[in-house]
Each structure stands twice: as structure tokens, then as C-alpha cells.
Chain A
Amino acid sequence: MPALPTLPRTSVSRPLPWALALGLGLGLAVASPGPAATAAVLAAGMGCSDSSGLCVDSGGASFTADKKSTSKDRKKRSTKNAGTLSLSIDGGRGSVFLNGRYVGTAPVSGVELPSGKNDLQVRDGADVLATGLLDVPKGAAVSITVNGG
């Protein structure tokens, strides 16, 4: 668990505004994922028809299309409680890139998946089938279907 940042000495005397701002920020972040964000959760056995081109079949992860991790997200990633990623492409082919690196050509399974926010991209040559941020709970076995058509 990373240490919480120490507040500047001057603000110790005024903790209420800080707490209010933090609470407001957190509340807004949780309540509104934004219009571009897409959290796709797919019931097992159905084809992937999500507009992002990617459906999370199981594992409790959420995918936000067209978003990249921040340096803070990268620092928070942890392989200590890593899960696994299984990914298949429905009606096509492609390679899977996780956190900027090639991990395999679909279908892939058992790929080590750090907990936290991971950059995920699936592409077939020049065509990007899905790209975005995959938020993974600790130790989750995430199964994903990407629409290859």
C-alpha cells in the first residue's frame, strides 16, 4: 500500500476544504464515467456487440475505450496480486498488446495481468480492433471477447 501524500504544513490548519475537495472529486469520478467511456460487461455466451469492440465476459474487470493510463495508474499497477487474461477474437484475427508490449496472438490465455489500470490494445495489422484501459481487480481471471468483424 503506497504511503498517503503528506499535506503541506500550511494546510494542516485547514483540513475541511481539502477533505471536501477530495470527496467531491472522488464522488464525481465514480458517478460519471464520461460519454467516451464504455464499461462493457457481457453475459457469457453472447456475441460481443459493444461499440468499443470489446466485451468483458468474466473476471469483474471494466474496460474504458480510447483511454490511456496515467503515470499514476502505471505506478499503482501491481503484479503482486496479478490475475490472468484470456482473450479471443470473434470472427477475425489479431494480436494482443498489454501495457505497451506484445503478449500474444489471439486466442491467448493465462497471460499475467497486473491489478489496476492496464493499457490494452488488440489489432489486426493496421486496424485497431479495440484499445483502451482495462481496470482489473486483484487476482482476477479476466476473460474478454473482441469483435473481429
Chain B
Amino acid sequence: MSSPGRAGQRRASATLALALALGVGVATVPVSARAGVTPAPLLFKKTKKSGGLTPEEAAERRAPVQQQGQQMVSAGELTAATILYDGAAQNEGDPVLFLDAADVYLAMAKEEREISSAETAKMRAQTAQDVLYFHLDSASDPDYRLVATEDVSGLLARASALIDDADATIAEIEAEQDAVVAPEAAPKRKQGNGRGLRIAGAGFIGLGVAGLGLGAAGMAIGRINQKRVDDPAVYGTEFDEFDAKGRRGNLLAGVGLAVGGVGLVLGVTLLVIGKRRGKNAGSAPQESPSDEEASVMLLPTGRGLALTGRF
């Protein structure tokens, strides 16, 4: 029977032996045979928080969206591309996708001349700016990085350029729309120098003079025939004949005097207006005092009247 002291010594020796065996065993196992065992240093390595994101992972997530979006843009499906980019950008809060969306909205605005699309492009670029500046802020989640910090300045410059382009496009389209809504006042009808009026006025004066001449002739005919019918020796068929001639003369006198009067008044009026307009236009030819007004003169043959003047 062994004493308690010896038994204790044996248990201690056995424990030491076991510990030594385990220690030696672990130490001599080749590294490749220790698959699944996490090396000690890795246990303390800072791991990514659950729900975190690295710029590389964000780029991987973004790539298929961008690829599909570019295909849509190439196929001219701009609206579909904006829906795709907007949805993905909003879900991820991804500034790159916001900028991609802004690009498409701007292209749409330029193509369809739509202010609303240009304004949306600007808003998307501004949102991208917000996210990018926030990325640089200490309040942002260090474990959720959509872009690498070194890419931020380049993306901010892209956002700025987009905003400027959108503003310029809005101004362009507004100018176009203003031109359509309020067309440029129709060019003022070119005011002539009154030459046409002067010609017309002279024509009417001529007509008036002719009418007056006709009226005078009619009066003369009427007076002659009146004398004839007043003659008591004239009667019967002869009386009727002179009476008819007298009536025709009276009619001729009435019409001639009326036409002559109207023609003269109208002609003088047009002539005066024409001369005034010529003066205002400053292009009226310098006229000699004798040319200033149309004049009616008796023809050298003594058989008619002539209207002279420069118009």
C-alpha cells in the first residue's frame, strides 16, 4: 500500500508528463497538418464589423449595375438606365452610382431638351457630393467605405463638373423656351421713304384734275344744250335730242366734278404724307423747290394737261 505522499507525487508526475506530451505534440505537428487552427496573431487581427464594406467590395457590387446601365445607355434606354442607377445608388448610398445616374439624366436633358432632367442630374451630383464629403468626416462609419479615400477628390471634381454642366444646360434650355414662348417681336415693317405714297398721290391728283376737266366739259355741254332747248324754235324730235344731250352733259358734269374733287383731295393728302415720310426716313431725295410739289401744266400743244414732278 502506497502512502498518500507517494500517490500525490505520482499524480503530479503524470500530469507533467501529459502536459509535456501535449506540448511536444502540438509543437512538432507540421503547419500544414494544423488546418483549421487559427494562428494566434490572427485572433487579434481587427476584423471587419458585420455589415461593413470595403471599397473593393463596393466596387464589385457596383460593377454589374454599371455594366447593365451602360448597355441600356448604348441601346438608348436612358429612362431605364436612370431607374437602375437611382435604385442601386439609393440602396447603397453609393456616390459613384449617384454620379452615373447624374450623367444619364444630363444626357437625357440634352437630348430631350428637358429642364427637369437637368435639375435631377444636378440633384444626383449634389447627393454624391454630400456622401463624398461625409466620407471624409469623422462621423462616417469607418467600417463602411464605398470608395477609397484617395478617390474622393477625383469624384468630387466629377460631381462639380456635372453640376456646372447641368446649370449650363438648364440656362440653354430656358433660353430656347423663352424664344419659343415669346417670339422675337416681328421685325418692324420697313417704313418706306414715302415714294409710293407720293406716286399714288400724284396719280389721284391727275385723276382729280381729269375729273374736274370732265365735270367742266359736262357743265359746258349742259349749258349749251340748255340754251338750245330754251330756244322756242326748237321743238319736237330736235328738242328731245338736245334735252338728252343736256342731261348727259349734266351727268358728266356731276360725275366729273365728284371724281375730280375726291381725286384731288385724296391725291394731295397722299402727297403730303409721302413727303413727310420721306423726310422722316431721311432718304428722300433732295428736291429742288420746283420739284417739291407735283404741278399740273397745260401741254405745249394746248390740247391737254400734264402732271409733272419728281417722286
Contacts and interface: CB of A to CB of B under 8 A. Distances in A.
Interface of A: 68, 93-95, 97, 99-105, 119, 121, 123-126, 128, 131
Interface of B: 90, 93, 123, 126-127, 129-131, 133-134, 137-142, 144
A119 B144 CA distance: 15
A119 B19 CA distance: 51
A9 to B, nearest CB: 28
A19 to B, nearest CB: 35
15 contacts: A68-B139, A93-B126, A95-B130, A97-B134, A97-B140, A101-B93, A101-B140, A102-B93, A102-B131, A104-B90, A119-B139, A121-B134, A123-B130, A124-B130, A126-B133
B141 A100 contact: yes
B126 A102 contact: no
Contacts of A125: 126, 129-130, 133
Contacts of B131: 95, 102
Given A94-B130, A124-B126, 12 more contacts: A68-B138, A68-B139, A93-B126, A95-B130, A100-B141, A100-B142, A101-B93, A101-B141, A104-B90, A121-B139, A123-B130, A125-B129
A68 B142 CA distance: 14
Listed residue (A68, A93, A102, A128) with the most chain B CB atoms within 10 angstroms of its CB: A102
B156 to A, nearest CB: 9
A121 B137 contact: yes
Contacts of A128: 137
Contacts of A93: 123, 126
Contacts of B137: 121, 123, 128
